[in-house]
Amino acid sequence: MLAGFPLFLAVLVAPFPLGWVLIFLACFCLFFNTGPTNTILANVTHPSMRAAGFALNIFVIHLLGDVISPVVIGVLSDKYSMEAGFFVVGIMFLAAGLLWLLGARHLRRDTELAPNRLPAFPAVASAPPS
């Protein structure tokens, strides 16, 4: 994500068709973390909470991403310029990259603790034979 920010800025000033190449590279950098992020989420979430963890993750991604970003870009482009709108949203590349780096410090410990975070659930009673 951090590598995508300079590419994103270059898109704002590059002539086309070079801009298309830069858009591809910026998007690649933006979405390159999806696989590792999902792996981390699966590894640090207790198995009984994993589905809820993925659901919450998807909700937050959409809430902070494709739901709010068009509104933010639109408001900023109306008040300033389209480039300003894209630049401010592009700052999220940096924020996300920095949060990734800060979270990486806790990965090993969280992965080791995940299976033991919740108390064991009692076995589900089976229905009596009919």
Range of the domain at 42: 35-115
Task: Please count the other Cβ atoms lying within 10 Å of the Cβ belonging to residue 43.
Answer: 14
My answer on whether omega of the bond before 47 falls inside 30° of 0, hence cis, is no
3, with CB counted inside 10 A (0-12, 13-18, 19+), is middle
Please name the amino acid found at residue 121.
Answer: F
Q: What is the pLDDT of residue 17?
A: 93
Examine residue 84 and state whether it is found in any structural domain, yes or no.
yes
Q: What is the pLDDT of residue 123?
A: 47
Whether the Cβ atoms of residue 104 and residue 111 lie closer than 8 Å to each other: no
Identify the three-state secondary structure at position 16: coil
Examine residue 24 and state whether it is found in any structural domain, yes or no.
no
Domain count of the chain? 1
Q: What is the pLDDT of residue 114?
A: 78
Q: What is the pLDDT of residue 59?
A: 94
Q: Cα–Cα distance between 70 and 130 in angstroms, integer? A: 58
In the chain, % helix, strand, coil (3-state, to 5) comes to: 75, 0, 25
Q: What is the pLDDT of residue 121?
A: 54
Examine residue 127 and state whether it is found in any structural domain, yes or no.
no
Q: What is the DSSP letter of 33?
A: T
Examine residue 7 and state whether it is found in any structural domain, yes or no.
no
What's the predicted TM-score (pTM) here? 0.69
Q: What is the DSSP letter of 124?
A: P
pLDDT per residue rounded down to tens, the chain (130 residues): 888 889 988 988 899 999 999 999 999 988 888 888 898 888 888 888 889 999 999 999 899 888 888 898 899 999 999 888 888 888 888 898 899 899 889 888 888 887 777 665 554 445 555 5
